[in-house]
Structure 1
Amino acid sequence: MTVALSSLLAAVVSAAGAAGLLWLLLRTGWAWRLATDEPNHRSLHTRVTPRVGGWGIVAGSVLALAVSGVAPPWALPAAVLVGVSFADDRHGLSTGLRFGMHFVAAAALVLLAGLPGLWALPVAVLTVWMTNLYNFMDGSDGLAGGMALSGFGACALAAAAAGEPELAVPAAALAGGAAGFLVFNLHPARVFMGDAGSIPLGFLAAALGLEGVLRGVWPAWFVPVVFAPFIVDASVTLARRMLRGERFWQAHREHFYQRLVRSGFGHARTAWFAYALMATCAACALLARALDSAWTPPLLALPAAVLLAAGLWIDRRWRAWNDTQDIR
């Protein structure tokens, strides 16, 4: 079986497994027993919602990998993050314990990759950042699932084109699991992803990116560009909060996507707006990887310009909306 067919099979199996498990959890009521999200003053939703979507993505992906016979080396640290994050979804864990386990998983990834000491620390720190930024961005219907579908889908296409099943199949499985999850997460969402989904997905984006670079499948910029809509939003928001001297580690509602929803754009339109940004970044990254290097600068400049324009537009819309609130 070709790499492309193996990847397609993995995506289909994962999507069916994820959707099937989530349907079963909702149908039996177990979704509300496992973990729920209670609305609070920082939430964008107003009703109690199960946050078990991550279990669908994980189950679908594991099923797909079992069928394909592919066993990624970073599966064990990812599995540890799933367990820790599910415990956090159910009972709430201390910030120190959560971040400690994130660093343990990042250190395991660095060791498995055999990176020299000079690169080990910065790669581990970037892995922890990627692990958490995905969780930061999981706050609106359809958003994190869409990023997983677009981001891991692009990785699967690039790896399949390079004839690398060890990368293509896991990426396709994650993209398929995200598609199965989105069946229940598009607005109005019936399930949320939860930390058991968002934390491992961030880690796996970093793991796939690193493995692809080491194998020569894609350049170092490829995965950051593919996931740029999440990376830019989370990073710019964090930098702004730090510059204002705020407690940047605390939950808030100041991300670009949160401002867009709160200013009246709504969950559905915000998701589709984000999908357009994701598709632009993924397409430009895939083309820049495939074409002659002379095309790389303009193809990377385009998503940068699009994201900058989107951010400026959201900021302007946010200020205008705040002005109307002051008048009222």
Structure 2
Amino acid sequence: MLHGLAAATTALVLTATLAALLRALMLRFGRAGDATPHLGGVAVALATLGVACAGPVLGVAELGPGVAPLLAASGGIALVGLVGDVRPLGVRVRLVAQAAAAIAVVTLAGLTPGAGALAVLWIVFVTNAFQFLDHCDGVMGAVAAVTALGLAVCAIAGGHPGNGLLLSVLAAALTGFLLHNWHPARIHLGHCGALFTGFLLASSAVTVHAGEPGGRTTAELFALTVLVLTDTLLVLLSRRRAGRPALRGGGDHIAHRLRALGLTTQGSAVVLGLASLACTLIALQIHDGRLAPVAAVPLALVVPVAVVLFLRVPVYGPASRRRPPRARTPSGPAPHTASVDLAGGRG
């Protein structure tokens, strides 16, 4: 317990410090006109991996079987994302890298071929769903931190203390990053941090739930990720209806629509964070057996209703069908409204 608290505290402080240092370096040596750097994910990845590996190296904690390969695969995805932040990477390259890393994780988890194939597809989808979510100040960090904490509790309760420690460290690192990413954001996650976080969460979920009853696991994982799945579905349907490229960034996510309804940027992040917390609590109740897997059915019914309602909120300007508007608050710098989508575009 004490080691877990020390590790989490270290990850929080280290991420906040590294993010501030990276911001200063990018403002000094980065591209002209890039007022808000987008390599904050490097701080999250380095702090998470470094603190998680420090326990075994220092002899104060063991990560347990299966955690080291998970760290290696997540680190590889972070490197792919970092390359994408520095220079554009094609969709195919990133998807192949994610699939290869997911196959490695699933193989070591000992899943059957059928379940393993579904798990690989799910990991890749959730990885990119969390990347889609990195579009507005504070949203990605808040939702991912809550999800990581929920998965950490599931891991510890299921007898996976190493995974629980890793997820707790990730949650703390994201919290440290939020100190710089809360509106008005001074640094963004970028591809590196968004892909790393999404992949680590999805892969950890598969690892922790390997061998558990299929119905309960499906319901639990759906509840944990229902918010990011809803946001992704909303964006893809909205862009298809508007005749816009599906994989280009834009101001058409749930957070942008909440702001169009009158919420502030901070308020949108808080609402989505609380929604993620509510879904996470349901997932924990299912994991503990206090709720039957059928409890996830109402969430499944909420998804299409939410998508239909949010589709009615206008977010595309009449002047252009190709480039969504960059909303600004009445005062202060513009919030982060550009999605970091599969194609690497920033709308």
Give TM-score, length-normalised by structure 1.
0.82
Whole-Å separation in 2 of the counterparts to 1:289 and 1:5: 25
Structure 1 residues without counterparts, runs of 5 or longer: 39-46, 324-328
Query: What SS does the corresponding residue of 2:218 show, helix, strand or coil?
Result: coil
Higher helix proportion (structure 1 or 2) = 1
Amino acid at match of 2:72: L
Report the Cα distance in structure 2 between the residues aligned to 1:226 and 1:123, rounded to whole angstroms: 15
Q: CA deviation at 1:227?
A: 2.2
Q: Is the 8 A contact 1:209 1:220 kept in 2?
A: no
Residues 103 and 124 of structure 1 are in contact (CA less than 8 Å); yes or no, is this contact kept in structure 2? Answer: yes
User: Does the CA contact (< 8 Å) of 1:35 and 1:52 recur in 2?
Assistant: no
Q: In structure 2, what is the Cα distance between the partners aligned to 1:13 and 1:125? A: 34
- The amino acid across from 1:32 in the alignment is L
- Alignment-derived partner of residue 323 in structure 2: none
211-220 or 134-143: bigger deviation: 211-220
Report deviation, 1:311. Answer: 4.7
For residue 90 of structure 1, the aligned residue among 63, 86, 95 is 86
Q: Please give the alpha-carbon distance, in whole angstroms, between the structure 2 residues aligned to 1:261 and 1:268.
A: 9
Within a 5 Å distance, the mapping from 1:1-328 to structure 2 comes to 4-26=1-23, 29-32=24-27, 48-69=35-56, 70=63, 71-214=67-210, 216=212, 219-242=217-240, 246-294=244-292, 296-298=293-295, 300-301=296-297, 303-304=299-300, 311=307, 314-316=310-312, 318-319=313-314
Measured in 2, the distance between the counterparts of 1:321 and 1:248 equals: 14
- Separation in 2 of the partners of 1:219 and 1:96? 30
CA contact (8 A) 1:259 1:314 kept: yes
Question: What does the per-residue CA deviation read over 1:210-253, in whole Å, with 9 as the maximum and x for residues that have no partner?
Answer: 11111549723323311221111112432454567653223333
Asked if the contact 2:151–2:164 (Cα under 8 Å) also holds between the matched residues in 1, the reply is yes
Q: 1: distance between equivalents of 2:268 and 2:245? A: 26
Separation in 2 of the partners of 1:57 and 1:230?
20
| One-letter identity of the residue aligned with 2:49 | V
Q: Distance in 2 between matches of 1:185 and 1:262?
A: 21
Partner amino acid, structure 2, of 1:160: I
Structure 2 distance, partners of 1:72, 1:130, is: 21
The 1:113/1:189 distance shift into structure 2, 3 A limit, reads same
Q: How big is each residue's C-alpha offset from its partner over 1:51-105, in whole Å with a ceiling of 9 and x where there is no partner?
A: 1221121122123212322243222221111111111111222222222222222
For residues 26-66 of structure 1, the C-alpha deviation after alignment (integer angstroms, 9 at most, x for no partner) is 3xx2133676797xxxxxxxx73111221121122123212
Seen in structure 2, the aligned counterparts of structure 1 residues 306 and 125 have a Cα distance that, compared at 3 Å, is: closer
Taking a change above 3 Å as real, the CA distance of residues 244 and 118 of structure 1, as seen in their structure-2 partners, is farther
Are 2:111 and 2:210, in contact at CA under 8 Å, matched by a contact in 1?
A: no
Amino acid at match of 2:161: P
Paired letter, 2:170: L
1:110-164 deviations in Å (ceiling 9; x for gaps): 2222333223332222221111111111000000101121000111122223342
* Aligned-residue CA RMSD (Å): 2.9
Cα distance 1:21–1:313, how it changes in 2: closer, same or farther (>3 A)? same
- For the structure 1 residues 116 and 308, does the alpha-carbon distance in structure 2 shift closer, same or farther, using more than 3 Å as the test? closer
Local SS of the residue matching 1:206: helix
Q: 1:34 to 1:201 in 2, by over 3 A?
A: farther
Distance 1:174 1:34, change over 3 A: farther
Pair 1:130–1:199, CA change in 2 (3 A) = same
Change (3 A) 1:9 1:159: farther
| Corresponding residue number in structure 2 for 1:326 | none
CA contact (8 A) 1:35 1:51 kept: no
Give 1:321 shift: 10
- Tell me the TM-score normalised to structure 2 length: 0.78
Hey, what's the Cα distance between the residues in 1 that align with 2:219 and 2:32? 35
Alignment-mate amino acid for residue 284 of structure 2: L
Change (3 A) 1:255 1:37: farther
When residues 242 and 319 of structure 1 are mapped into structure 2, their CA distance, relative to the original with a 3 A threshold, is: closer
